[in-house]
Amino acid sequence: AQRVTQPEKLLSVFKGAPVELKCNYSYSGSPELFWYVQYSRQRLQLLLRHISRESIKGFTADLNKGETSFHLKKPFAQEEDSAMYYCALSLNNAGNMLTFGGGTRLMVKP
Amino acid sequence: DTGVSQNPRHKITKRGQNVTFRCDPISEHNRLYWYRQTLGQGPEFLTYFQNEAQLEKSRLLSDRFSAERPKGSFSTLEIQRTEQGDSAMYLCASSQAGRGEAFFGQGTRLTVV
C-alpha cells in the first residue's frame, strides 16, 4: 500500500532562512506527487505538483524516484509562508484519490 | 464563492445520534471526494464519486457511514449511531476526471459528546 511520511511535525525558521520540508513516499509504481498548504483559517489548497515542474510562491519540489522523496524547498522564507504543509500522492489509475502525509507546521519567525 | 461548499461548518451531536453533512462541489467537476481529518493528522480518504457512481470506498468507511451523490452534483455523508471516535473534520473535495488537482471545501467539524 502507498504511504507518505513527513518526519517533521514542526519546522521553525527565521525570516530569510532557507526552508526544506521533507516528504518521503512508498509506492512501487509511478505516483503523482503534490504539496498542499493550509494557511490559518483557510481551506486546504494545492501549492504545487511534480508534473508541473513550476515554482509557486518561491517554492520548488523535485521528485527523486531513487530516494522516493519529494522535498519542498524555498531559499528565503517569508513570514507569510507560515502554514501547515501536506505532502500527498495520487495513483494515476485510481481516480486521483490522495494519500496524505501527517503534515508539517512551518513557522517563520521575524 | 464558487469553490467547494460544505454545510454545516460545525456540528455537535450526542453519541448515538445520526448526522448528515452536505457538500456542493465546483459545478463542472465530475469527481467528488470525502476525507476525514483528525487532530494532528493529515486527511484520510473515505470515498469518491464519479458523477453519481460511488467508485471507491476506504476500509475506514464502516457500515455506519453512507455517502450519496444522487444526481451527480451535491453529495451527502451520513453517519449513523455516532461514536466519540467519529469526532473529526470531514473534508469534501472535487476535481475533473483525469486531473489530479483536487479543490477542497472548508470542512465540517463534527464533535460527538
Tell whether the model's pLDDT for residue A61 goes beyond 70: yes
C-alpha cell at B14: 450526542
A40: closest CA of chain B, how far (Å): 12
Q: What one-letter code names the amino acid at A28?
A: S
pLDDT band at A92 (very low <50, low <70, confident <90, very high): low
pLDDT of B99: 65
CA distance B29 to B100: 12
Per-residue pLDDT tens listing for chain B (113 residues): 579 999 999 999 999 999 999 999 999 899 999 999 999 999 999 999 999 999 888 888 889 999 999 988 999 999 999 999 999 999 999 998 766 688 999 999 999 99
pLDDT band at A85 (very low <50, low <70, confident <90, very high): very high
Contact A75, A13 (CB under 8 A): no
Cβ contact, residue pair B106, A97, below 8 Å: no
B14: closest CA of chain A, how far (Å): 26
Tell whether the model's pLDDT for residue A94 goes beyond 60: no
| Nearest residue in chain A measured CA to CA from B102 | A46
The secondary structure element, H or E, covering residue B10 is strand B10-13
Contact A16, A110 (CB under 8 A): no
CA distance B112 to A70: 37
From the CA atom positions of chain B, what is the Rg in Å?
Answer: 13
| Nearest residue in chain B measured CA to CA from A87 | B42
pLDDT of B65: 96
